[in-house]
Amino acid sequence: MNSLILVNSRHAYSQDTEQDLIPVHKDYPNILLEREAAHALSLIMEQLDGWRFIVPASGWRSLEEQLTIYEESLQENGPEFTAKFVAMPGHSEHQTGLAIDLGLRQPDIDFIRPVFPYEGICQKFRELAPAFGFIERYPTGKEHITGIAHEPWHFRYVGTPHSEIMTFKGLTLEEYLA
């Protein structure tokens, strides 16, 4: 598993190795991540008692699933919204098994834009994430670099010490790899 693989609008994902996907938690058997990323996520959640307050909205996606999400968003939300918040099929980090969208537990979870505020348990997760290999992938003010709108709910496993260096220096994955 290459945890530093870059997938964005300019770099397509090409799966060249078998993925080792596992459920992120027993209560969410259909939300999958690469084994190492899932383990790191479970360690953060154990430390925070996070599963009581935070739900996984989306993990690994197949190319077919990403195509369906993209086409449905185009129909329901239009091209401008879709270009900001939904990666084109073949260009989604979710296909790597290293990306997770998280939401604050509430009655209705928006699958594309789950609520994940900069306060409370969500902020505690965000602060702990780099020590466990995760970064907030699409920070505000970096849209021109990532090509994706600010997504406070989207976390990417890059492993340590990369996550800690990137967070300390305020770098996106694109900037870090350059």
Q: By 3-state DSSP, what share of the chain in percent is helix, strand and coil, each rounded to 5?
A: 40, 15, 40
Q: How far apart (Å, rounded) are the C-alpha atoms in residues 30 and 28?
A: 6
Give catalytic status of residue 65 as yes or no.
no
Q: How far apart (Å, rounded) are the C-alpha atoms in residues 140 and 19?
A: 31
Q: How far apart (Å, rounded) are the C-alpha atoms in residues 28 and 39?
A: 14
Given 46, 71, 151, 175, which residue is catalytic? 151
Q: CB neighbours of 16 closer than 8 A, spacing ≥ 6? A: none
Query: Catalytic positions, please?
Result: 151
